[in-house]
């Protein structure tokens, strides 16, 4: 009898603890905690936060997502004729992905329209990408800003910078 009570209590405690640690992805792929709040974390944590079958998107993947939501999006270096400037309003994104491959492109957020209600967490949060910003001095990674579609870099250290995570399939 006593054994079965101990077993029951242990099982309940284990399941409660598992539930408390069980982050989940909402329908938009945003990582939330047990209470439904958007999880904010450092870049180091974000790199390993997405569950199996999903991944933290690169800067390019976010740029393509923004492009699908109306942004002018990407302009490849290969499209530039030697010595010519990119079209107006494009800025340079110099990313290095987690596999070490450098991925440099021009990007224009003009036209971005997330189409979600203004209070949506898709719009009100900035998200980590898995792309680093190469620097021989600073430890930076690229972020995607849900409100205006911008891709900028920020410090990876969670002491200074805690951002949301959106996992892509």
Report the interface residues with other proteins, using CB under 8 A. Answer: 77, 80, 82-86, 92, 96, 99-104, 134, 136
CB nearer to other proteins: give 102 or 110: 102
What minimum distance in Å lies between the beta carbon of 82 and other proteins? Answer: 6
| In the block, residue with structure tokens 């944590």 | 45
Minimum CB distance to other proteins, residue 43 (Å): 18
**Min separation Cβ 11 and other proteins, Å:** 48
Nearest to 31 by CA among 21, 151, 62: 21
Judged by beta carbon, residue 31 or residue 95, the one nearer other proteins is 95
Q: Are 151 and 129 in contact (CB under 8 A)?
A: yes
Q: Using CB atoms within 10 A of its CB, is residue 66 exposed (0-12), middle (13-18) or buried (19+)? A: buried
Residue 126 C-beta: closest distance to other proteins, Å: 25
State the Cα–Cα distance between residues 38 and 57, nearest whole angstrom: 17
Q: Which residue lies nearer to other proteins by CB, 12 or 92?
A: 92
């Amino acid at each position: 009898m006593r054994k079965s009570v101990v077993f029951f209590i242990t099982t309940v405690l284990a399941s409660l603890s598992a539930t408390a640690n069980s982050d989940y992805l909402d329908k938009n792929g945003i990582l939330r905690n047990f209470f439904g709040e958007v999880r904010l974390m450092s870049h180091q944590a974000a790199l390993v936060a997405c569950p199996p079958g999903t991944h933290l998107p690169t800067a390019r993947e976010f740029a393509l997502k923004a492009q699908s939501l109306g942004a002018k999006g990407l302009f490849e270096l290969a499209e530039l004729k030697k010595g010519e400037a990119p079209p107006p309003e494009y800025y340079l994104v110099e990313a290095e992905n987690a596999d070490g491959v450098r991925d440099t492109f021009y990007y224009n957020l003009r036209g971005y329209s997330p189409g979600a209600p203004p209070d949506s967490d898709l719009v009100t949060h900035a998200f980590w990408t898995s792309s680093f910003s190469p620097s021989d001095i600073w430890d930076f990674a690229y972020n995607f800003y849900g409100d205006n579609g911008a891709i900028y870099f920020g410090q990876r250290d969670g002491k200074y910078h805690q951002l949301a995570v959106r996992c892509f399939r």
